[in-house]
Amino acid sequence: MDQIVSLCKRRGFLFQSSEIYGGIQGFWDYGPLGVELKRNLKEAWWHDMISGHNELVAPANAPGPFEMVGLDCTIIMHPQVWKCSGHYDLFHDHMVDCRESKKRYRFDQVRGRWVEYADRSQKIFVSTLADIETELDEVRRRAMKFFRLRNKDADKISISNESLTIDRLDSTKEVLAPDAKNLDTLTEPREFNLMFKTTLGALGGENDATFLRPETAQGIFVNFKNVLDSSRVKLPFGIGQVGKSFRNEITPRNFTFRSREFEQMEIEFFCHPDQSQVWYKYWRDRRMAWYTKLGLSSESLIMREHHQEELAHYSVGTADIEYAFPFLPEGEYGELEGIAHRGDFDLRSHMEGKLNPATRPMEVELGENGKAKYRGSGRDLTYRDEVTNEKFVPHVVEPSAGADRGVLAFLCEAYSEDKAPDEKGKMQTRTVMKLHPRLAPIKAAVFPLVKKDGMPEIAREIYGELKKHMNVFYDEKGAVGRRYRRQDEAGTPYCVTVDTESLNDKTVTIRDRDTLEQWRVKIDDVVTDLTSRIQ
């Protein structure tokens, strides 16, 4: 993981936000290569899910044909949206405070191991925020310090093999908190709302308080009727949206995996209640296939169905697509996307008032005065089937993906090291980002072999032509072998080289990043050749 993080910074994929001021935790900037990669991922999603969807035929394995449209909603919405959606009351994590260090941690994210010191018959739980690769060393270091042991006495303590998060312990009494010197300094876990609060207007009292959206989904629900009335879509249909979301995560960590500002790519798919289970299964499988098609290996991806007790309050079924990120312990996976069957919770809550998730069938949650705790919009969000004349509230299946976690997974998957010959034919280790051509920030690089004999002129002309069709890079500086290496690290799938032969027969060499295979193509055919390869 350290190598990936360092390559990301060195080559301009990702920078820490506000780095010159020491950075700000949980915020990341995309550099010149990163911005292209992320745009390509979002565009691939938008094309494959929305704009490229053919509503006239049922896609493979779909229960039938369906329509897809897009939306782009605001980040700040009416505060009532978050009351009716459940985020105002329920969108929280558990946190613990350390009485000694005054630091705050997310209860389910502090990890550690049991350490036993037999001479003193004492067993303590040593926690740390260290990465998984350095966790064991860090636990040992902290335990030795706690028991005041010297290095030569290292074998006097035994450390359990299992790494646990502190929410799995019966109590925190024996816990050495990540930044504490004494045991038992953590408070009981408390709830902490993850929404960023902000105030509208200059006078701004409590009534003007609103929130930065923690998900893009609600913008889709509140526009359900607008879309229905303006675009004449018929059930089943989906509405997609890509945009920023904000969560005040207590312990942002693991590079961009848990950020406080991130982008989501969400679909709300509306269907008849009787059909919702088949559509749920369809979307689950379709979304999984999307990741493998773009290059995530199926060994590193899993589909995890949630257990009953894990399901969100509204959900009839949820599955997560998870990836074996290298910063996680062996056998653990991190969520890339959640596919949730949300039933009619959202549309009914925005229509009638926030529903009480504990009731079956769900009823509007009542406040102390016996009226709806959070009033709905009162708008009719039902759907009338033109053929059967049936009127009902559609059920919703929601595939909700994170663009930043997607980028991170593709970066981790792409990173590889192999051996390739340098200019003198000597084998050298090379770092190569094996990104799918659709995702690669730069599709091709154009080089004149040397900076003379008319080669740069030809190369510049090819570059100009290619630029009209794709993102290309021109480089005439330094040894050609070094130029290839730089492009391998950037994930550029093809390099086009103008050499002595080009002057005679008007052909160039194209080199494949992964196989290192080279072939000659007529200059006039370079655009067509590369266009067909980067699809």
For binding to ligand ATP (CB under 6 A), which residues are involved? 215, 247, 249, 258-259, 262, 264, 335-338, 400-402, 404-405
Q: Which residue's Cβ lies closest to ligand ATP? A: 402
The radius of gyration computed from the CA coordinates of the chain, to the nearest angstrom, equals 27
**Closer Cβ to ligand ATP, 40 or 400, answer by number:** 400
**Closer Cβ to ligand ATP, 242 or 495, answer by number:** 242
At closest approach, how far in Å is the CB of 525 from ligand ATP? 41
- Output the six-digit token pair for 497: 């080289």
How far apart, in whole angstroms, are the C-alpha atoms of residue 353 and residue 366?
A: 9
At closest approach, how far in Å is the CB of 118 from ligand ATP? 39
How far apart, in whole angstroms, are the C-alpha atoms of residue 507 and residue 514?
A: 22
Task: Specify the long-range contacts of residues 294-301, CB closer than 8 Å, at least 24 apart.
Answer: 294/41, 294/44, 294/410, 294/436, 294/438, 294/439, 295/410, 295/413, 295/414, 295/434, 295/435, 295/436, 295/439, 296/323, 296/409, 296/410, 296/413, 297/413, 299/324, 300/324, 300/413, 301/336
At closest approach, how far in Å is the CB of 267 from ligand ATP? 11
At closest approach, how far in Å is the CB of 215 from ligand ATP? 6
At closest approach, how far in Å is the CB of 408 from ligand ATP? 9
**Closer Cβ to ligand ATP, 142 or 258, answer by number:** 258
**Closer Cβ to ligand ATP, 213 or 258, answer by number:** 258
At closest approach, how far in Å is the CB of 432 from ligand ATP? 26
**Closer Cβ to ligand ATP, 222 or 233, answer by number:** 222
- Output the six-digit token pair for 41: 């991922």
Longest dimension (CA), the chain: 89
**Closer Cβ to ligand ATP, 106 or 513, answer by number:** 106
At closest approach, how far in Å is the CB of 204 from ligand ATP? 27
**Closer Cβ to ligand ATP, 255 or 463, answer by number:** 255
- Output the six-digit token pair for 16: 């820490």
Which residues fall within 8 angstroms of residue 250, CB to CB, at 6 or more apart?
A: 93, 95, 104, 105, 106, 109, 192
Distances, alpha carbon 250 to alpha carbons 97, 194, 195, 198, 253, in Å: 11, 8, 11, 18, 9
Name the residue with tokens 């909700």. 400
